[in-house]
Amino acid sequence: MKKLALVSLLSLALCGPAQAFGLNTLLSAGTDLVKSATLSDAEVQAMAAESSKALDKQAKVAAAGSPQAKRLAKIVSGLSSEDGLKLNFKVYLDKEVNAFAMADGTVRVYSGLLDKMTDDEVRYVIGHEIGHVKLGHSKKAMQVAYAASAARKAAAGSGNANVAAFSESEMGELSEQILHAQFSQSQESDADAYAVDFLKRHSYKLDAAPSALRKLAALYGNDSSLLSSHPAAGDRADKVEKLIK
């Protein structure tokens, strides 16, 4: 896929105006497309840190003394790290039922999720999102987003696509791509299994996993942010119940 993307860029360059696609820009973009497939864990963490800053700037973040922030602090009390990942938590004041985690330990929970879930159900969702990070799903999503951004920078003739070279708007676009990445059915199932183990490790209530999934399905069908691109919530709930038993 990466080779095809590079070939497409080169073909476009040969067909388009010379001034729009300089050879150095194309070579740089080609390097970035290849690099996207071999991003190190340190590079992914650095990209996640920059992305989380961009997303925090775009979002309305709950103040530390707000009811939402206080509740999340209670929910994650004692959870400063997980599986070697140092965690940092914030609440986004947004009615969307959503949450996400990133490779630098960023965990963001939307107030819409807090409104619909019990404390233990929120813990399950957090464990699920951390699972995407620890199982490498988020890294793959970043690689895809990085490759797409490299292609856009090449088309715009803006040169190097290293994270440090992204403009604020470009970083915002990259962050949005990462945030809205879609995971496969097997990735979702694996993250559910990780979340069950997460609940066990911390002595949280295990039945929060299927109850959270069934609650989302009852409230939204497959239209919620946490379910829209995922396997059917009922099927996932059945699977995690089997894991618990």
Q: Tell me, yes or no, whether 127 lies in a domain.
A: no
- pTM for the predicted model, two decimal places: 0.78
What's the longest Cα–Cα distance across the chain? 64
What is the domain extent for residue 33? 2-40+138-166
Q: Is the per-residue pLDDT at 35 higher than 60?
A: no
Mean pLDDT confidence for 26-40: 55
Q: What is the pLDDT of residues 206-226, one digit of tens each?
A: 999 999 999 988 887 655 556
84 part of a folded domain: no
102 pLDDT exceeds 80?
Answer: yes
Q: Is residue 149 part of a domain?
A: yes
Q: Residues with catalytic annotation?
A: 129
Q: Is 29 contained in some domain? A: yes
18 domain-assigned: yes
Residue-wise pLDDT tens digits, 175-202: 777 777 788 888 989 999 999 999 999 9
Classify residue 47: in a domain, yes or no. no
Domain membership of residue 206 (yes or no) is: no
Domain count, the chain: 1
Is residue 221 in a domain?
no
Residue 14 clears pLDDT 50, i.e. is over it: no
Indicate the pairing of strand 88-92 with strand 85-86.
unpaired
Of 181, 197, 194, which Cα lies nearest the Cα of 230? Answer: 181
pLDDT > 70: what percent of the chain?
A: 70
